[in-house]
Amino acid sequence: MASLLSEALGTAPDVLCLQEIRGELTPAIRASAGLHRYYDISPNEVDGYGNLLLIRRELKPSFKEVPFPTMMGRSLLIAECLGISEGSLAVATVHLESLNSAPIRAKQLLIAQEALQPYKSVILAGDFNFDSSRNFGDWKSVPSQPPRPTRDDSDDDTAISFAGVPTKRSVLENDVLERTLPAYVDLWPALQPETDGGHTFDGVHNVHVGDPQEVMRYDRVLARGLAPVSIQMLGMPGADNGAAEHGDRVGAACASAAVPLPPAMPPSDHYGLCAVVAL
């Protein structure tokens, strides 16, 4: 717990979006004098585990929770920042339905789009539970094999034909963002176009991820009506996480919380994201 709160305060963003906060951690976060000195904390109930929003007091946040269709207790958590101007800026966080639940995630994103439509500028950050280049479970798919040679009875002994059925690529779930949230910018590919990284769930390097083949960009920061400035990952061993900028910019940090571990290890199975956008 101490390492999680220390990292949040050390990064010092204007907005802190937390997912998978365990019920036993919630009272400690809400009781932290250090956090309350700078942040208002969303009052939503966390049963088992859930999300929290921490918003700088100067932004004068007004919180609300929007229910999702879900079998896993998921919802949309919104903070309207009245300190900017009423109806101008909203910050929202999600933890979309897990595992092989693409149809439910699509419905949840549609509800999020409708709930956030009234605001001029929006940050939507959290665990989207789908990757930008492959679908859930693709890493377990059997690699395609070359067609097996077969002999046609009418051919001579030297003639060989090939039989194979081409595999049809399934629709990429990430396309739902273009259909449902076309006005939103996905900050990682927008700001890091030269990299194929952004994998916040990394089975190769993160010891908390059980499957070494599961390397996915589950976590996102999306923005509408704001200018993307920078984005980087947090919670990686040996990384210099720095601090978010302020002034006419808003720093938004998104992280999945777990029981804190020694400093040499990541604090979570997900890496966090720290983004800066210009108002």
Residue by residue, DSSP assigns 116-184 as: HTT-SEEEEEEE----SSS-TTGGGSPPP-PPEEE--TTS-TT--EEE--PPPPPPPGGGHHHHH-TT-
Average pLDDT for 95-109:
97
Distance CA 51, CA 74 (A): 9
The answer as to whether 157 is a domain residue is: no
pLDDT at 160 over 70: no
* 203 vs 18 pLDDT, higher one: 18
Backbone angles phi, psi at 201, to 5 degrees: -125, 100
Average pLDDT for 182-194:
94
State the CATH number of the domain containing residue 220. 3.60.10.10
Report the domain count for the chain: 1
pLDDT in tens, 253-264: 665 443 444 445
Sole residue written with tokens 């802190």:
16
pLDDT band for position 247 (cuts 50, 70, 90): low
The answer as to whether 64 is a domain residue is: yes
- Of 214, 208, 215, 246, the C-alpha closest to 229 is 246
* 14 vs 169 pLDDT, higher one: 14
pLDDT attached to residue 206? 87
* 213 vs 265 pLDDT, higher one: 213
pLDDT at 141 over 80: no
Backbone angles phi, psi at 29, to 5 degrees: -65, -45
Tokens of 266: 């990541």
Averaged confidence pLDDT in the chain: 82
pLDDT attached to residue 242? 44
pLDDT in tens, 229-242: 999 888 876 554 44
* 164 vs 88 pLDDT, higher one: 88
pLDDT attached to residue 266? 79
Backbone angles phi, psi at 68, to 5 degrees: -110, 155
pLDDT attached to residue 199? 92
First CA to last CA distance, the chain: 32
pLDDT attached to residue 239? 54
Residue 31: in which H helix or E strand, if any?
none
Average pLDDT for 115-139:
95
Q: What is the widest separation between alpha-carbon atoms in the chain?
A: 85
pLDDT at 134 over 80: yes
Cα–Cα distance list, 254 to 19, 131, 155, 220, 270 (Å): 8, 16, 64, 8, 10
pLDDT at 168 over 50: no
Strand order in the sheet with 219-224: 61-67, 75-81, 89-95, 121-127, 219-224, 185-186
The answer as to whether 108 is a domain residue is: yes
Cα–Cα distance list, 52 to 75, 139, 155, 164, 265 (Å): 11, 31, 70, 51, 23
Q: Which residues of 103-133 are buried (b: 16+ CB within 10 A; e: fewer)?
A: ebbbbbbebbbebbeebebbbbbbbbbbbbe
Backbone angles phi, psi at 52, to 5 degrees: -135, 150
Which range marks the domain in which residue 15 is found? 2-142+173-278
Of the chain, the percentage scoring pLDDT greater than 90 comes to 53
Residue 140 makes CB contacts below 8 A (sequence gap 6+) with 213
pLDDT at 276 over 80: yes
- Most confident among 14-23, 204-213, 230-239 (mean pLDDT): 14-23
pLDDT at 244 over 70: no
The answer as to whether 228 is a domain residue is: yes
Side chain identity at residue 33, one-letter code: A
Distance CA 235, CA 230 (A): 17
pTM summary value: 0.82
Side chain identity at residue 80, one-letter code: E
